[in-house]
Amino acid sequence: MCGIVAYIGHQEAYPIILKGLKRLEYRGYDSSGIALYGKQIESYKKKGRVSELETWDAPILHEAHAGIGHTRWATHGEPTDANAHPHQSNSGKITLVHNGIIENYASLKAELIQKGYTFQSETDTEVLVNFIEDIQINNNSSLEEAMRIALKRVVGAYVIIVLEDGFPDRLIAARKGSPLVIGVGEGEHFLASDASPIIEYTKRVIYVNDYELAIISKDDIILKNLGNEPVTPYIQQLDMELAQIEKGGFDHFMLKEIFDQPASLTDCLRGRLDVATLSLTLAGVDQHLSVFTQAKRIIIVACGTSWHAGLIAEYMIETICRIPVEVEYASEFRYRNPIIHSGDVIIAISQSGETADTLVAIERAKEQGAFIFGVVNAVGSSIARLSHAGAYTHAGPEIGVASTKAFTAQLAVLAMMALKIGKAKQTLTDADYKHYLVELSQIPEKVQVILSSHELIKEVAQVYAEANNFLFLGRGYNFPVALEAALKLKEVSYIPCSGYPSGEVKHGPIALVDETLPTLFIATKDKYYDKIVSNIQEIKARKGKVIAIINPDDTAIRGVSDHVMEVPETDELLAPLLTVIPTQLMSYYIGVLRGLDVDKPRNLAKSVTVE
């Protein structure tokens, strides 16, 4: 949520920052801005996409070797030029970009107004920059010292990067609760919300921790905590290639990422699942196996698509491991004073590893003594670092705002966890363990089979692209897939959609059904199959349109449906890894047919670092 980039070094800063902002645009895209330090500090900011910044034409673009940039997802104040970052202090001495939220900005602003400060924007960020300036003036201190004092009084989350007039060779950054990566170059340094703007220049990075300040010049990186004590920077090597964050010939990142899934699932299983030796290696689980086998309860916390993966994991873990599982919306869990017993295990699921609600939820649970296990995609992210242990999903960078490949990789990791724990607890027979392992190992090639039918799915999308409403139904393991399918289509097409367990339809949603309503049934062969057939008949009897996701040998549902999309057979526990694929493709095609920007749907952002 909001992306920030900064550069200091021997190259021109503007093109590096502009390109970096484009890479981070998935984090927010309602306005953007850049401040450069040439002969002096100059800023340019615009409502709209980052490409608006290309209209900037000034000598400073070629003079400046330091600068900061921001792409915004509005929290305080509408998307306007004035609310776009960077923001400047009243004296013009301090210029700052900010990702996060200053929760006590209203009281700080009132204090500053009393002292005569004026504000050009409605943002909490402009309050912060003036608050720092006020401290600097009152204490006659350095910017660094003023930032330290200010940040101790600020409530909320932030990454800030600051330019100060009179100091062209230095940037100061600070972080609490929002992500910040420093790229370590030769005579140059890069800062960004994630590694994607950095990767083409250097693979050596430092992940800045909460409550740390980074003082950066082209040749130096000094890290300190808010107590002014030095912190030794820990330089890590990025395991990411530039090609992974580019579209690779696809029209959209969303489509590329849907088609990535055979490879991303293979990457996720590689080195972990070995059918030949019937072994599963998940270091994070292996090292803490007794914590899982002795757990009285597992609580899964997540948001959005990751929450849907959590619901499927509930079914998997309860079936295989016989451990009670609760699945919580992180945004509710963090505020509702939940009861946590010692011996409870919390599994946090997150693609970005930066979702504020999930992060705070696990912080709270950790304080109460729970064991935290992270199922995270973004390596080195905050949730990964806060967890006691974890398993990365290894789906590779996901840039499309609507999550696709991260979801299937989450399911693969969660399935492996369930199998591992079930085997250790002996709640799973050897025969079943082997059966699941073999089935799981075949998932990537079965996903490939579904993807090869994309033209047929596109034809179905063409029929329903103008629908005004959509219903998604499934039972058992496929019920959370119905929720996920509804979320996906809603996000990229803006069509109102609902997902329900099929059995719930008669308790209300059936009132929606008429000849204009498409209902998509996820109806693979499982123990609920006959019930689903009856549910389809109920919709047809009311003249509803039925699309069904079925197995290839299905004749009964094929005969009564208006359209079908096929997925290969697998065990019902793993079916979501397959049944979700046609729903992703259908959503994508409908979004594109409606002329929408599927990679950057309105009002959304990829990494939700505000609550």
Given the rule CB under 6 A, which of 88-96, 232-240, 351-359, 519-527 is the region that contacts ligand F6R?
A: 351-359
**CB of residue 355 to ligand F6R, shortest distance in Å:** 3
Among 136, 331, 358, 382, binds ligand F6R (CB under 6 A): 358
Note if 2 is an active site residue. yes
Q: Which residue is nearest to ligand F6R (CB)?
A: 304
Give rounded-to-5 percent helix, strand, coil for the chain: 40, 25, 35
CA distance linking residue 324 with residue 253, whole number of Å: 37
Contact 32, 24 (CB under 8 A): no
Side chain identity at residue 56, one-letter code: W
Q: Which is nearer to ligand F6R, 67 or 591 (CB)?
A: 591
Given the rule CB under 6 A, which of 116-124, 214-222, 253-261, 348-356 is the region that contacts ligand F6R?
A: 348-356
303 binds ligand F6R (CB under 6 A): yes
Contacts of 540 (CB under 8 A, 6+ apart): 546, 560
CA distance linking residue 205 with residue 202, whole number of Å: 8
584 binds ligand F6R (CB under 6 A): no
Contact 573, 316 (CB under 8 A): yes
Given the residues 2, 268, 303, 497, select the one marked as catalytic: 2
350 binds ligand F6R (CB under 6 A): yes
Contact 107, 127 (CB under 8 A): no
For residue 321, what are its two tokens?
């491991």
In angstroms, the Cα distances linking 438 to 434, 441, 442, 462 are: 6, 5, 7, 36
Contact 33, 44 (CB under 8 A): yes
Among 31, 99, 202, 305, binds ligand F6R (CB under 6 A): 305
**CB of residue 362 to ligand F6R, shortest distance in Å:** 11
Q: Which is nearer to ligand F6R, 23 or 189 (CB)?
A: 23
**CB of residue 384 to ligand F6R, shortest distance in Å:** 11
Q: Which of residues 441-500 bind ligand F6R (CB under 6 A)?
A: 487, 491
Contact 329, 358 (CB under 8 A): no
The span from the first CA to the last CA of the chain, in angstroms, equals 10
304 binds ligand F6R (CB under 6 A): yes
Q: What angle do CA 578, 582, 584 make, to 5 degrees?
A: 100
Given the rule CB under 6 A, which of 58-66, 208-216, 272-280, 345-353 is the region that contacts ligand F6R?
A: 345-353
Q: Which is nearer to ligand F6R, 125 or 351 (CB)?
A: 351
Given the rule CB under 6 A, which of 178-186, 218-226, 346-354, 548-556 is the region that contacts ligand F6R?
A: 346-354
CA distance linking residue 173 with residue 160, whole number of Å: 5
**CB of residue 140 to ligand F6R, shortest distance in Å:** 43
Given the residues 93, 405, 600, 606, select the one marked as catalytic: 606
Strand 389-392 and strand 470-474: pairing?
unpaired
Contact 259, 585 (CB under 8 A): no
The three-state DSSP-derived secondary structure of 500-529 is EEHHHHHHCHHHHCCCCCEEEEECCCCCCH
Q: Which is nearer to ligand F6R, 83 or 305 (CB)?
A: 305
Residue 373 has φ and ψ, to the nearest 5°, of -120, 125
Among 5, 182, 402, 413, binds ligand F6R (CB under 6 A): 402
Contact 148, 228 (CB under 8 A): yes
Given the rule CB under 6 A, which of 86-94, 344-352, 440-448, 451-459 is the region that contacts ligand F6R?
A: 344-352
**Among the listed residues 68, 81, 71, the one whose alpha carbon sits nearest the alpha carbon of residue 49:** 71
Given the rule CB under 6 A, which of 54-62, 132-140, 280-288, 347-355 is the region that contacts ligand F6R?
A: 347-355
**Among the listed residues 403, 328, 312, the one whose alpha carbon sits nearest the alpha carbon of residue 361:** 328
Contacts of 206 (CB under 8 A, 6+ apart): 181, 182, 184, 214, 221, 223, 233, 234, 235, 236
99 binds ligand F6R (CB under 6 A): no
Kindly compute the dihedral angle of the four CA atoms of residues 230, 142, 144, 155, in this order, to the nearest 10 degrees: 130
524 binds ligand F6R (CB under 6 A): no
Q: Which is nearer to ligand F6R, 25 or 491 (CB)?
A: 491
Among 99, 351, 519, 561, binds ligand F6R (CB under 6 A): 351
Classify residue 263 as exposed, middle or buried by CB count within 10 Å of its CB (0-12, 13-18, 19+): middle
355 binds ligand F6R (CB under 6 A): yes
CA distance linking residue 172 with residue 136, whole number of Å: 14
Q: Which is nearer to ligand F6R, 90 or 358 (CB)?
A: 358
Among 32, 88, 89, 306, binds ligand F6R (CB under 6 A): 306
Q: Which is nearer to ligand F6R, 17 or 327 (CB)?
A: 327
**CB of residue 599 to ligand F6R, shortest distance in Å:** 12
The number of residues that bind ligand F6R (CB under 6 A) is 14
**CB of residue 262 to ligand F6R, shortest distance in Å:** 20
Q: Count CB atoms within 10 A of the CB of residue 15.
A: 12
Given the rule CB under 6 A, which of 110-118, 181-189, 352-360, 438-446 is the region that contacts ligand F6R?
A: 352-360
Among 193, 403, 408, 535, binds ligand F6R (CB under 6 A): 403
- The residues that touch ligand F6R, with contacts defined as CB under 6 A, are 303-306, 350-352, 355, 358, 402-403, 487, 491, 608
Q: Which residues are identified as catalytic? A: 2, 606
